[in-house]
A and B are shown apart, each in its own frame.
Chain A
Amino acid sequence: MAEFLMEIRDLHARVEGEDTDILRGVDLTIRHGEMHAMMGPNGSGKSTLAKAIAGHPGYEVTGGDILLDGESILEMEPDERSRAGVFLAFQYPAEIPGVSISNFLRTAAVARLEEGEDMDIFAFQRRLMEKLEMLKVDPAFAARYVNDGFSGGEKKRNEILQLAMLEPRMAVMDETDSGLDIDALRIVSEGVNTIRDNDGSMGVLLITHYKRILNYLRPDYVHVMLNGQIAHSGGPELADRLEEMGYDWLHEEPEAATVG
């Protein structure tokens, strides 16, 4: 096992076809079992980082590297990254009309099987029911078409349901808290905590605007992204400071940026 679960080295990335980088040298290391929160104002590059990790075809990595267990994943397609253990909980999940959540999850589970391996459909169904219960969703939810006509909160729950079912090694959560009311936020957060309790080695990169979700999820480290770089890193207390003082003070002490 490599020392680091995920290692991001001097990552530069831009929207495909654009002239300027959005990410301008991001360095970040995440060990097994750690949760890192990535905060920062709009447009600082947080979501671009999430997409670059998952391999969105609309983004181009122009420099640096992303390693999973010491191996570069940059040359891998999004599905290969997923099967290797990377998961992105989307900020804006796509709608797939006509495809039920259970069918979708089953297909995704089958895609993970080794060659010659068969899926135990009953075990899958039991697990699906457990996870639905954990997220306090009606079992009928699994029969609905993926994100089709879902409220913002339902979409986010669906993302966490997938996280729970697919059991990734490294989960990137892109603004999972936005659009959630306080009850939904609590349920989703408890779900994430349960998943982490079940799998102590899963790494989490939690991208968020607000400290609110950090009342439920206690990250080991908090980073602040500004202008495509990590401007500051610290422990959970950093989130409190950001809540009080905003982001402006960071511009004045960039030398404080250290990797946790």
Chain B
Amino acid sequence: MPQNEAIKGIGLDEYKYSFVTDEKPFFKAEKGLSEEIVRQISAHKEEPEWMLEFRLKALEIFYSKPIPDWGGDVASLDLDQIYYYLKPQDHMERSWDDVPDEIKNTFERLGIPEAERKILAGVGAQFESEMVYHSLKEEWTELGIIFESIEDGLKLYPEIFREYFATIVPPQDNKYAALNSAVWSGGSFVYIPKGVKVDIPLQAYFRVNSEQMGQFERTLIIVEDGAQAHYIEGCTAPSYTTDSFHSGVIEIVVKPNARFRYTTIQNWSHNMYNLVTQRAMVHENANMEWVDGNLGSKLTMKYPSCYLVGEGAHGEILSIAYASDGQHQDTGGKVVHAAPRTTSQIVSKSISKGTGRSSYRGLCKVYEGAVGSKSNVECDALLLDETSRTDTYPYIEIDENLSSIGHEASVSKVGEEQLFYLMSRGLSMEEAMTMVVRGFIEPIAKELPLEYAIELNRLIELEMEGSVG
């Protein structure tokens, strides 16, 4: 199989959008999951034996674990009706003309460059940023930075890969992590050497041409001692995909005195179940920040975590969720204080509209011996109307008395006085509502690189259209 071939699962509703798939024969596995399929995936990726064994073991774990009885409703997600494996060619040969107008219009209104639109719509294309990427890549290579697809990471850097892979999120962690471990495909492998500081964010977008993002993406990032970097995954533009299930695993190791930020903004199509495990192991005096935005999907369950395992480690989770009609955003964050004087901060904001529901689910665990640890959790929910819903599920487990934990939660509704005030200055009801919402997410938007902040705002404006009257 050609090296650039990615494997991509595809959901049942593939034909809903009437994509014309290639006439020539291509390989597609049977629906559902089996040992045979896992073997095929591994064989097509030309993986070493240990990875195949890892996958098979993960599959067993997946079968043995019950579906979580908390969080969102996954009852209508039939795991037997999913294609776990598909050669990417049919995706690559999608024509731009086949992309639904609705999606094209959204790109148009977001002002996304033509080239980027095609990539986002899953249409393979050469694009200008390839040049940009190549010059950046040269610079990075000189610094010893590795930024590859996860498949190439395994092939080219087997030792580093094996040392860290699945050590942060083992397959036993949860049912979906086990599933991902069995069938993972696509994702990034990033290695930042000791003391190297990168100012320009590493963007997964630069890498899209080499490997399409998979349904079961797997990302492994290692930030060595004293290194600093920022990685950006995804894009605020709607991720147009026919998949209905996305279950990623993101593993990050932040070594002593290193700083790392992982930013992701996701806007999956509204039929998507998005169940993601993302976790960072944070060592002595290191700093880890998750900036996480969730706008699309039918159900998202995602709780970026920081395991603070070295003295003085700091973890931060900023998240924003927007639940519109028919959506459930079950998001939040987890911080585990397992060393003295570790500190953490969670700021979670959610907006719910119509029949949308947002839940904050957070865990703060302080182990005995983590003396002088401090954690502060702040979650704010904004309801746009009478029908939307929000809940808060904070789990706090403290085994060390010499620590301090703060938790603040607020629920607000867009107030009549606020709307009247803005309208009395000439803003329409819709503009007024959007302005209140924008202000609400500002503390998180300002943490994003400018172009992402602008796109996030535009996207929220689009989502807000028709939210009143």
- Are B423 and A79 in contact, CB atoms less than 8 angstroms apart? yes
Interface membership of chain A positions 1-27, coded 1 if the CB is closer than 8 angstroms to chain B and 0 otherwise: 000000000000000000000000000
How many residues on the B side are at the interface (Cβ–Cβ under 8 A)? 24
Q: Given A99-B438, A99-B442, does the pair A88, B424 have CB atoms closer than 8 Å?
A: yes
Query: A83-B426, A98-B440 are known contacts. Are A107 and B421 too (CB-CB below 8 A)?
Result: no
User: How many Å lie between the Cα of A166 and that of B427 in the bound state?
Assistant: 12
A61-104: contact bitstring with B at CB < 8 Å (1 yes, 0 no)? 00000000000000001110111000110100111111100001
Contact check, B421 vs A145: say whether CB atoms are below 8 A apart: no
| Residue A250, interface by CB 8 Å | no
Give the size of the chain A interface in residues (CB under 8 angstroms).
Answer: 30
Segment from B122-130, B396-404, B428-436 that makes contact with A = B428-436
Stretch at the interface among A52-60, A181-189, A196-204: A52-60
Given contacts A94-B415, A94-B421, contact A107 B427 (CB under 8 A): yes
Q: Known contacts A104-B435, A111-B431: does B425 contact A82 (CB below 8 Å)?
A: yes
Asked if B443 is an interface residue, CB under 8 A from chain A, the answer is yes
B441 at the interface (CB under 8 A from A): yes
A98 to B425, CA, bound (A): 18
Question: Known contacts being A79-B429, A107-B431, A111-B431, is A98 close to B423, with CB within 8 Å?
Answer: no
Bound-complex Cα distance A166 to B424 (A): 11
Which residues of B in the span 422-469 have a Cβ within 8 Å of any Cβ on A? 422-429, 431-432, 435-436, 438-443
Chain B residues near A98: list those with CB within 8 A: 438-443
Question: Which DSSP category, helix, strand, loop or mixed, fits chain B's interface?
Answer: helix
Bitwise interface map of B from 20 to 51 toward A, beta carbon under 8 Å scored 1, else 0: 00000000000000000000000000000000
- What separation, in Å, do the CA atoms of A3 and B305 have in the docked complex? 68
* Residue B420 is within 8 A (CB to CB) of chain A in the complex: yes
Task: Point out the residues of chain B lying under 8 angstroms from A145, CB to CB.
Answer: 439, 442
Q: Does B141 contact A (CB under 8 A)?
A: no
Given the interface contacts A77-B429, A79-B428, does A57 sit within 8 Å of B420 by beta carbon? yes
Is A211 in the interface zone, CB < 8 Å from B? no
Q: Contact: B436 with A166, CB < 8 Å?
A: no
User: How many A-B contacts at CB < 8 Å in the complex?
Assistant: 81
CB distance from A79 to the nearest CB of B (A): 4
B417 interface contact, C-beta 8 A: yes
B421 touches A166 (CB 8 A): no
A111 to chain B, nearest CB (A): 4
Closest to A146 in B: B439
- Chain B residues lying within 8 Å of A93, measured Cβ to Cβ, are 421
Q: Which of A55, A58, A107 contacts B435 (CB 8 A)?
A: A107
Most B C-beta atoms less than 10 A away, residue of A54, A88, A97: A97
Q: Assess whether B142 is interfacial by the CB under 8 Å rule.
A: no
A116 CB → nearest B CB, Å: 18
Given A93-B421, A96-B421, CB of A79 within 8 Å of CB of B439: no
In the bound assembly, the distance between CA atoms of A54 and B423 in angstroms comes to 10
Does residue A32 face the partner (Cβ distance < 8 Å to B)?
no
Report whether over half of chain A's contact residues are helix, strand or loop; otherwise say mixed.
mixed
Q: Which of A106-145 contact B (CB under 8 A)?
A: 107-108, 111-112, 145
Contact partner, B425, options A95, A97, A162, Cβ 8 Å = A162
Known: A77-B429, A96-B418. A82 touches B423 (CB 8 A): yes
A104 to B423, CA, bound (A): 11
B97 at the A interface (CB under 8 A): no
CA distance A131 to B369 in the complex (A): 58
B416 contacts the other chain (CB 8 A)? yes
CA distance A55 to B421 in the complex (A): 11
Partner of B426, one of A95, A99, A111, A146: A111
- In chain B, what residue has the closest Cβ to A172? B424
* Alpha-carbon distance A57/B417, docked complex (angstroms): 9
Chain B minimum-CB-distance residue to A96: B439
> Considering only CB atoms, which chain A residue lies closest to B439 in the complex?
A98
Q: Which residues of A contact B432 (CB under 8 A)?
A: 79
Known: A58-B416, A96-B436. A166 touches B426 (CB 8 A): yes
| B residues near A111, Cβ cutoff 8 Å | 425-428, 431
CA A104 to CA B438, docked complex, whole Å: 11
Collect the chain A residues with CB atoms within 8 Å of residue B431's CB: 107, 111
Nearest CB in chain A to that of B428: its residue: A79
Hey, which chain B residues are within 8 Å of A99, CB to CB? Answer: 435-436, 438-439, 442
CB closest residue in chain B, given A112: B426
Give the distance in Å from the alpha carbon of A95 to the alpha carbon of B417 in the complex. 9
In the complex, A237 Cα to B426 Cα: how many Å? 36
> Across the two chains, which residue of chain B brings its CB closest to A105?
B425
**Residues B420 and A96 in contact, CB atoms below 8 Å apart:** no
Q: Is the CB of A90 within 8 A of B421?
A: yes
Closest chain B CB from A57 CB (angstroms)? 6
Cβ B427 vs Cβ A79 within 8 A: yes
Question: What's the Cα separation between A145 and B427 when bound, in Å?
Answer: 17
- A82: chain B residues at CB < 8 Å are 423-426
Residues in chain B near residue A166, CB distance under 8 A: 425-426
Complex CA gap A58/B432 in Å reads 17
B421: chain A residues within 8 A (beta carbon): 90, 93-94, 96
* Further pairs besides A58-B416, A79-B427: 17, Cβ < 8 Å: A54-B420, A57-B420, A79-B426, A81-B424, A82-B423, A94-B420, A96-B421, A96-B436, A96-B439, A97-B439, A98-B442, A99-B442, A107-B431, A107-B435, A111-B426, A162-B425, A166-B425
The 4 closest A-B pairs by CB, nearest first: A98-B439, A98-B442, A99-B439, A94-B421
Can you list 10 A-B pairs with a CB-CB distance of less than 8 A? A77-B428, A78-B420, A82-B423, A94-B417, A98-B443, A104-B425, A104-B435, A108-B427, A111-B426, A162-B425
